[in-house]
């Protein structure tokens, strides 16, 4: 009968603690913003502040860890979309996954921006998110399901147009607004007789 070695048990326990810290930090940043204290995160995680500081010496390191967890989940969704046989449905599923994770994490994204971490992550986001989505975009375009006068490089701006509607303003009061505007964007991308666009 196989037994768990003490070293392996310690590694598993350490990973469990780290996962708990990252989850608690995500919750705290999402609720309280960048100003949340490490002590508050420790309280929510059920560990001492010193434990967090040993693993994550700064808030920025914590933000990086949370980002990596969330972006890993998004990568799985985009990979699942890539496996879909219909290029248009694959692209729409990939965009929807990105918009859903953005609208569910608005305050956390503000914390990333406020801390300066978002700027550091720009290249990583392009590689891990927008490059795979651009491949889906090109596939759908090559299949004739998307208007041909758009470039895959415009995809981030198109998605930004949709996610901007998720901000809580008098005209767009709920994150559900993004679903409506994603549908409108989808219609525009598939217009059979599109308007002539001026040069980008």
Domain match, 105 and 157 both: yes
Does residue 200 form part of some domain? no
Q: How many folded domains does the chain comprise?
A: 2
CB 158 within 8 A of CB 185: yes
Question: Between vectors from CA 55 to CA 50 and to CA 59, what angle results, nearest 5°?
Answer: 85
pLDDT at 128 over 90: yes
Q: In the predicted model, what is the mean pLDDT of the chain? A: 86
Does residue 198 form part of some domain? no
For 147, the token pair is 């208007």
Does residue 118 form part of some domain? yes
Q: Which domain holds residue 84?
A: 62-189
Does residue 5 form part of some domain? no
CB 134 within 8 A of CB 153: yes
Does residue 173 form part of some domain? yes
Q: Residue 22 sits in a domain of what CATH number?
A: 1.10.10.60
Domain match, 77 and 134 both: yes
Does residue 113 form part of some domain? yes
Domain match, 101 and 127 both: yes
What pTM does this model have? Answer: 0.82
Domain match, 49 and 71 both: no
**75-114 confidence digits (pLDDT tens):** 999 999 999 999 999 999 999 999 999 888 888 999 999 9
Domain match, 101 and 178 both: yes
Q: Residue 134 sits in a domain of what CATH number?
A: 1.10.357.10
> How would residue 170 be classed by pLDDT, with cut points 50, 70 and 90?
very low
For 122, the token pair is 């720009």
Does residue 39 form part of some domain? yes
């Amino acid at each position: 009968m196989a037994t768990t070695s003490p070293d392996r048990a310690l590694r598993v326990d350490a990973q469990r603690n780290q996962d708990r810290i990252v989850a608690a930090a995500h919750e705290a940043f999402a609720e309280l913003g960048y100003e949340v204290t490490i002590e508050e995160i420790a309280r929510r995680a059920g560990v001492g502040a010193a434990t967090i500081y040993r693993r994550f010496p700064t808030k920025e390191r914590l933000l990086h860890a949370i980002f990596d967890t969330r972006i890993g989940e998004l990568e799985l969704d985009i990979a699942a979309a890539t496996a879909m046989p219909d290029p248009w449905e694959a692209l729409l599923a990939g965009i929807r996954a990105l918009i859903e994770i953005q609208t569910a994490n608005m305050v956390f994204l503000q914390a990333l921006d406020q801390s300066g971490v978002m700027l550091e992550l720009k290249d990583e986001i392009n590689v891990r998110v927008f490059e795979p989505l651009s491949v889906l975009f090109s596939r759908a375009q090559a299949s004739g399901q998307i208007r041909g006068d758009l470039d895959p490089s415009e995809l981030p701006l198109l998605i930004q147009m949709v996610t901007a509607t998720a901000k809580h303003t008098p005209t767009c009061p709920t994150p559900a607004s993004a679903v409506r505007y994603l549908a409108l964007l989808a219609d525009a991308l598939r217009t059979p007789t599109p308007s002539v666009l001026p040069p980008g």
